[in-house]
Amino acid sequence: MDTITLGEVTLTRVWEYFGPVGMTPEVFFPESPQEAWREHRSWLAPHFLDERTGIVNSAIQTWVLRSEGKVILVDTGVGNHKDRPYAPVWNRLNTTYLDNLARAGVRPEDVDIVINTHLHIDHVGWNTYLDGRTWVPTFPHATYLMPKADFDYWNPANEQRTRLGRGNQNVFEDSVAPVHAAGQTLLWEGGHRIDGNLQLDPAPGHTPGSSVLTLESGSDRALFVGDLLHNPFQIHEPDANSCFCEDPAEARATRRALLGRAADENALIIPAHLGGHGAAEVVRDGGKFAIKGWAPFAPYGERV
């Protein structure tokens, strides 16, 4: 199953990539206790960890929401033909992403809203495509919702010294600026109500503009948390940051707050990069959290 219904909103999972991302847990999550990885290894493999190589597995995917007559995309992956000299896993990809989107019943011209939860390399790539020698918006009728804090932070004209360094090189120029120049961006601050079911709010730490999308429809709740979680290991070890978090202390606090909210409100927590079933319900477990149950999406790991 690639589509579920939450209240009056349908949610479809569209993949771009699933597999190893070239990092061991020690590299990807340098602050994490290695004994905890050993403790959870049995269920992390194979969807979230390659037990043979010890490399972390990750999914690059878009969540397609249909809400109040609108087609809404949450994050747009890496993109094709993008020059990523300092991120070799994502350099000059040539995937079937648009075909996968079409199989989900979505043509580029059908999209009304694109949400970039933050402006990292693997969340904005399909914002644009290469038309001849020019990067142009992939979704010609869409409004692209971008957090202003990230737009300013990653704009090379502002010369920020970032934790990611050159890892985000070229991203603003080929995947953000062309959309802004086309007049299709809405740079939001403080919060943004999309419709009666969907609300965007700041969730800083991973990046200054990282955001959470809250879905509330009928009795159903879901939190799209972007990269506050890269791996379900972080549900059990919420203080474990990825190596890409710009403000580690703030990222830990935000992660704990969102996991607590998900547990207290019985909300499905939907990170950007989980393989396997893609999303989970969580419960409090002392000072940490645990997985209560998985979403009913078909695991990527069973397709590869």
**Tens digit of pLDDT for each residue in 23-40?**
999 999 998 998 999 999
Q: pLDDT digit string (tens) for 86-128?
A: 999 999 999 999 999 999 999 999 999 999 999 999 999 999 9
- CA 91 to centroid of chain Cα atoms: 18
Determine phi and psi for 73, rounding to 5 degrees: -105, 135
In the three-class reduction of DSSP (H, G, I as helix; E, B as strand; rest coil), residue 226 is classed as: strand
Rounded CA separation 95/93 (Å): 6
How distant, in Å, are the alpha carbons of 41, 208, 296 from that of 211? Answer: 29, 9, 25
- For residue 177, what is the DSSP state? H
**Residue percentage of the chain with pLDDT more than 90:** 95
Burial state string for 54-63 with b = 16 or more CB within 10 A and e = fewer than 16: ebbbbbbbbb
| Burial of residue 291 (number of CB atoms within 10 Å: 0-12, 13-18, 19+) | middle
Give the CA dihedral 156, 194, 12, 7, nearest 10 degrees.
Answer: 150
In the three-class reduction of DSSP (H, G, I as helix; E, B as strand; rest coil), residue 225 is classed as: strand
pLDDT for position 1: 64
Is the pLDDT score of 229 beyond 90?
yes
pTM: 0.97
In the three-class reduction of DSSP (H, G, I as helix; E, B as strand; rest coil), residue 171 is classed as: helix
Determine phi and psi for 65, rounding to 5 degrees: -110, 135
- What 247-256 contacts at long range (C-beta under 8 Å, 24+ apart), as own/partner pairs, is 247/204, 247/205, 247/208, 248/31, 248/205, 249/205, 250/204, 250/205, 251/205, 251/206, 252/205, 253/205, 254/203, 254/204, 254/205, 254/206, 254/210, 254/228, 255/205, 255/228, 255/229
Quick one: tokens of 154? Answer: 């990653």
* Local confidence band at 210 (pLDDT 50, 70, 90 cut-offs): very high
* Residues recorded for the chain: 304
